[in-house]
Amino acid sequence: MLSGGSQMWSLRKGKANLLRLVATLDWLLTAWKWLTKIFRWENRRQTLVFLVCYSVLVMNPDLILFLVKTILFVSVPLWLYKRPPPKHNNCHIDVKLSLLDSATADELDEEFDSFPSSREADVLRMRYDRLRNIAGRVMCTMGDLANQTDKLHSLLN
Tens-place pLDDT, residues 112-140: 777 777 788 888 888 888 888 888 888 77
Range scoring the smallest mean pLDDT among 12-26, 56-70, 84-98? 84-98
Alpha-carbon span 66 to 109, nearest angstrom: 55
- Mean pLDDT within 8-22: 71
Comparison of pLDDT for 19 and 54, the residue scoring more: 54
Q: How many Cα atoms within 13 Å fall on the side-chain side of residue 62?
A: 0
Comparison of pLDDT for 71 and 64, the residue scoring more: 64
What are the Cα distances from residue 31, in Å, to 24, 26, 35, 132?
Answer: 13, 9, 6, 33
Comparison of pLDDT for 25 and 91, the residue scoring more: 25
- Mean pLDDT within 90-95: 67
Query: pTM of the entire structure?
Result: 0.41
6 has pLDDT over 60: no
The full DSSP string for 34-45 is: HHHHHHTTSSHH
DSSP state of 56: H
Contacts of residues 147-156 at CB distance under 8 Å and 24 or more positions apart, as own/partner, are none
**Number of Cβ atoms within 10 Å of the Cβ of 131:** 14
- Mean pLDDT within 62-70: 87
Residue 48 binned pLDDT confidence (cut-offs 50, 70, 90): very high
Quote the pLDDT of residue 1: 44
Quote the pLDDT of residue 88: 66
Q: Can you give the residue ranges of every domain in the chain?
A: 8-103, 113-157
